[in-house]
Amino acid sequence: MPGFLIHVGASVLCSHGGQAQASMPNPRVTVGGQPTVTQPAPWLVAGCGLPPPPAANGPCISAQFVTAATRVSSGGQPLLLIDSQAICAPTGTPLLIVASQTRATAM
């Protein structure tokens, strides 16, 4: 299914409210003047509310996207879409893409 491209200014959160940020923006493709993000780039999470062991297995520190565009890439790497799925480490919970640009779509 087609979806909006994710850019650096997108609002991305871990399941516990931590703010996720792309570690390696893709300056070759921009939307709204902001770089997009490719799938292999890890995301860093700050402010996760999940307590550390022994109370829980948190907080979320990083995340890796496991799905991305199948037909659009940049530099040989697939671009992230609003419906792309990611897994946080060490908790195994998903990232939530809350808001992104709404002009450019990909599949």
Q: What is the pLDDT of residues 17-46, one digit of tens each?
A: 999 999 999 999 999 999 999 999 999 999
Single pTM value for the model: 0.93
Give the rounded percent of residues in the chain with a pLDDT score beyond 70. 99
Q: Is 9 within a domain?
A: yes
Query: What tokens were used for 107?
Result: 């599949």
Distance CA 104, CA 78 (A): 15
Give how many domains the chain has, as a whole number. Answer: 1
Tell me the residue range of the domain where 76 lies: 3-34+49-99
Radius of gyration of the chain from its Cα atoms, rounded to whole angstroms:
14
Name every residue whose Cβ is closer than 8 Å to that of residue 78 and which is 6 or more positions away in sequence. Answer: 38, 39, 68, 69, 70, 72
Q: Is 107 within a domain?
A: no
Residues across the chain: 107
Q: Is 39 within a domain?
A: no
Q: Is 28 within a domain?
A: yes
Q: Is 14 within a domain?
A: yes
Q: Is 44 within a domain?
A: no
pLDDT digits (tens, 9 = 90+) for 69-79: 999 999 999 99
Q: Is 20 within a domain?
A: yes
Q: Is 40 within a domain?
A: no
